[in-house]
Amino acid sequence: MPSIGIVGTGAYLPENVVSNEEIAAGAGVTAGWILEKTGIARRHRAAPHQATSDLAAHAARRALAQAGLSADQLAFVVVATSTPDQPQPATASIVQHLIGATRAAAFDVNAVCSGFLYGLTIGTRLLSGDADPAAPYGLVIGADIYSRILDYSDRRTAVLFGDGAGAVLLGPVPAGLGIVETALTGHGDQHHLIGVPAGGSRAPASPQTLAAGEHFFRMDGRAVRAFVHDELPAAVGGLLHRAGVAPAQVKHFVPHQANGVMLADVWPDLGLVGSALHLTVDRHANTGAASVAITLDEVHRRGVVDRGDLVLLAGFGGGMNIGAALLRWALDRPATALSRSGGRTAATAVLIDSATG
């Protein structure tokens, strides 16, 4: 069985930047309230002509360019999203066409904000089997355009989300590097905490559902926060235990960028002493399934992660689902990476060394 790891990263954030001031009044709050409650200062918004597949294709091309690979070397394209272009076909099929991945199978994964970790796990398993020598790589993309499903008068959701896409290329790496362990969990008994009530087979779109606002994203924020505090430490601890890795050995933690304040609160409970917590939520907000991949791309391109470092990724969200992956980083720092300065880089809004607080 070959070792499979990340051999390239890419991300795309739309050009339009939306400040807290631009959305605060509509949600009945102030810009300062948003920053205090979420740690978010701004977010990106897709242009009217852009769909999720467009953002995903941009991120995919950047990952391919970084790795020096062509799209015809891909065995599959997986798009993790809960805001697809349309109910069908799969958004991944459109991305496959846009990037010219003529050999690739294409399918979507919807595990909401955990989707990228679910896709990463599936992709690793696919490549660990009988890979096609002519197409030994796979593309996993997280992409979402939440700006299209938000009720901008709902302060619980309108202030949290941005649009974006992140991608990783999976492929063979030297023995001892790459994906060490992954873990996926589901808590379907709490599926009601996050969702879009209408537009599916249970409640097809109609004048009545539109009038009731049931096509908008809804979330029980307090219950979601409790879920993360209750379940994320156990999920992380279980993954590390199965991998035979002590928490202190992890060098970098890249979580789903749900809410900066919530992440700061749960961080001490994870026990990752000596690890760096990487957050980009202040500039990009919560980009759904894209957030882990976007942050990972920024951290890599800034030269923060060294070859051989243990990197922990975690996503959590609607379903309720948790996905986590432990990697021994297989990439060298990019030649163009900025040097580190005082343990912090411009790539991360917060780079916390838990050994020093």
Which residue numbers are catalytic? Answer: 113, 256, 286
Write the CB contacts of 14 (distance below 8 Å, at least 6 apart in sequence). Answer: 44, 45, 46, 47, 50, 55, 163, 164
Alpha-carbon separation of residue 69 from 47, 152, 172, 199, 297 (angstroms): 29, 41, 13, 38, 17
Do residues 123 and 78 lie in contact, with contact meaning Cβ atoms separated by under 8 Å? yes
What DSSP letter does each residue of 185-231 carry, written as one string?
EE-GGGGGGEE--SSSSSS---HHHHHTTTTS-EE-HHHHHHHHHHH
**Residue whose pair of structure tokens reads 């051999």 in the numeric block:** 7
Give rounded-to-5 percent helix, strand, coil for the chain: 40, 25, 35
